[in-house]
Amino acid sequence: MDRRTYLVSVFEDTQARIRESAELAVAQAESVAAQRIVLETDHVPLPAPRYADEAKVLVSRRRTFEAAAQYKGAHVCVLNFASFVNPGGGVTHGSSAQEECLCRCSTLYNCLNSPAMWSGFYTPHRHSGNPLYNDDLIFTPGVQVLKADGDYSLLEEPFGVDVITCAAPNLRRPAAGSFNPGGRWTVNIGPEELRLLHERRARKILTVAAESGAEVLVLGAFGCGAFRNNPVVVAQAYKNILPEFAHHFRTIEFAVFCPPHDDSNYRTFESMLGTSDYTRTSDGMYAYAYPRAAVTADSVLFAERDGQTFVLLVRRGNEPYKGCWAFPGGFLNMDETVARCAERELEEETGIVLTGMRLVGVYSDVDRDPRGRVITAAYTAMTDMPEPAAADDAAAAQWWPLGDLPQLAFDHKTILTDAMKMLNISAAHLQ
């Protein structure tokens, strides 16, 4: 399953869960009923300051809903970096920008994809043909978040946030795209003019958030991804206007999640708006903001019987690749070695107890796991074909002949080939 197909399946699963849950359906209907469009020409008065202390401003490497989840019990408002012309951007097609991520994990898409929003927001913008867009926005209260926006795992309990949907200037060359039509021309705008535009748009966003009574506001590197806005200009614009809102919020967090190969947006915002890259925890340890890859371990077990070579596989019970076959494995605990992790996961998922497996290799392709940056260590051994018993998050476990294998999840076909070479198992078995 390629990544786009996987992301579409996550979105469709979210939609099914909303339809099947009376509580989510009611909450969604309430959001739609209270949702409103605030046009560029609408005057929204800034309410009186609410807090004696200045708002805490911080820059993190979190995703938007990941950041919002840190403020349980608070009134949280988040900014949706929107397509101005298509609700949810390309979420129904597996696109992976910030708006699509929010819509994959929550009730937001159905709120935006409503007749009132089409007639008052999306359709007029489709006809404008100006990639700079304007300061129109949608305010959607009480959006229910039911999945984590990192690995798309189901949360134990949904939580609610208000969402402000607004578009940054589209500075792509050319600006038009499948989900952002707007003429085939390219915007030519200088840094000073762009900064002033962002300041004006930011004032509108923060004023609406303050008017709604939000205690915590989650922003980000607005427009600095797919829409190609200069992060230095955008960060400077927010730095300039934040003092006007210093006593209207308790916390303003710029959640600037970056891909592993390029964290320049985070570094720019952190240098202009944030604090140190690390903090000291209560036990005196250093907690660094730099993103950490997750580590997993997999076990590749072989056995021979009746002239055939078999490999042990489990059918995955959870996303990603739910229902697909893979090697037994899982995430490293903080108090164990990677080798011990492989042994533990093997026992938990199949009931097989085995030590002394050999390391095949470490697999670290950036996009090998759709949940994010995950590095795995694979271990292998030839066994006497012990009987597996599926448990934990394995829906099934069985020995498969190498000549009749199902399609494998992740990069496990590559790992299988490497393990066979290590144990001198002929590739002819795979035919």
Q: Does 280 score more than 80 pLDDT?
A: no
For residues 354 and 343, is the Cβ–Cβ distance under 8 A?
yes
Q: Does 300 score more than 70 pLDDT?
A: yes
Q: Does 371 score more than 60 pLDDT?
A: yes
Q: DSSP characters for 249-316?
A: -SEEEEE----TT--HHHHHHHHHH---SEEE-TTS-EEE-S---EEEEEEEEEEEETTEEEEEEEEE
Non-local (6+) Cβ contacts of 41 within 8 A are: none
pLDDT at 261: 75
Q: Does 290 score more than 60 pLDDT?
A: no
Q: What is the mean pLDDT of the chain?
A: 90
Check the CA dihedral 260-265-268-269 and report its sign.
negative
Give the whole-angstrom CA distance, residue 117 versus residue 121: 5
pLDDT at 2: 84
Neighbours of 130 (CB within 10 A): 15
Confidence of residue 291 (pLDDT cuts 50, 70, 90): low
pLDDT at 132: 87
At 402-413, the pLDDT tens digits run: 999 999 999 999
Dihedral, 64, 71, 8, 20 alpha carbons, nearest 10: -150
Give the whole-angstrom CA distance, residue 21 versus residue 249: 33
Give the whole-angstrom CA distance, residue 269 versus residue 238: 10
Please give the sequence-ordered ranges of beta strands (E in DSSP) within 306-352, or none if there are none: 308-316, 325-326, 329-331
Locate tokens 């996961």: which residue? 345
pLDDT at 323: 94
Of 130 and 329, which is predicted with more confidence?
329
pLDDT at 177: 52
Residues 183-191 have a mean pLDDT of: 70
pLDDT at 335: 87
Residues 141-156 have a mean pLDDT of: 95
Round the CA-based radius of gyration of the chain to a whole number and report it.
25
Domains contained in the chain, CATH given: 3-288 (3.40.220.10), 294-430 (3.90.79.10)
Report the run of H or E that residue 164 belongs to, with start and end: strand 154-166
pLDDT at 282: 44
The CA distances from residue 270 to 52, 62, 77, 378, 420, in Å, are 25, 13, 21, 37, 47
- DSSP SS3 for 56: strand
Residues 156-170 have a mean pLDDT of: 95
pLDDT at 254: 96
For residues 277 and 290, is the Cβ–Cβ distance under 8 A?
yes
Q: End-to-end alpha-carbon separation of the chain, Å?
A: 22
pLDDT at 153: 94
pLDDT at 180: 44
Please tell me the chain's helix, strand, coil percentages from 3-state DSSP, rounded to the nearest 5.
35, 25, 45
At 40-75, the pLDDT tens digits run: 999 999 999 999 999 999 999 999 999 999 999 999
Q: Which of 383, 398, 198, 205 is nearest to 304 (CA)?
A: 383
State what percent of residues in the chain have pLDDT above 70.
92
Pairing assessment for the beta strands 394-401 and 329-331 based on DSSP bridges: unpaired
Non-local (6+) Cβ contacts of 22 within 8 A are: none
Q: DSSP characters for 106-119?
A: BSHHHHHSSHHHII
Of 427 and 205, which is predicted with more confidence?
205
Tokens of 23: 């509580």
Q: Which of 60-74, 176-190, 410-424 has the lowest mean pLDDT?
A: 176-190
Q: Does 187 score more than 80 pLDDT?
A: no
At 317-329, the pLDDT tens digits run: 988 899 999 999 9
Q: Which of 219, 286, 222, 281 is nearest to 251 (CA)?
A: 219
The CA distances from residue 144 to 28, 91, 206, 387, in Å, are 7, 17, 21, 44
Locate tokens 């949904």: which residue? 158
Pairing assessment for the beta strands 308-316 and 358-363 based on DSSP bridges: unpaired
Of 180 and 165, which is predicted with more confidence?
165
Confidence of residue 249 (pLDDT cuts 50, 70, 90): very high
Confidence of residue 179 (pLDDT cuts 50, 70, 90): very low
Q: Does 303 score more than 50 pLDDT?
A: yes
pLDDT at 156: 93
β-partners of residue 59 are 254
For residues 100 and 14, is the Cβ–Cβ distance under 8 A?
no
pLDDT at 201: 96
State what percent of residues in the chain have pLDDT above 90.
76
Q: Does 278 score more than 80 pLDDT?
A: no
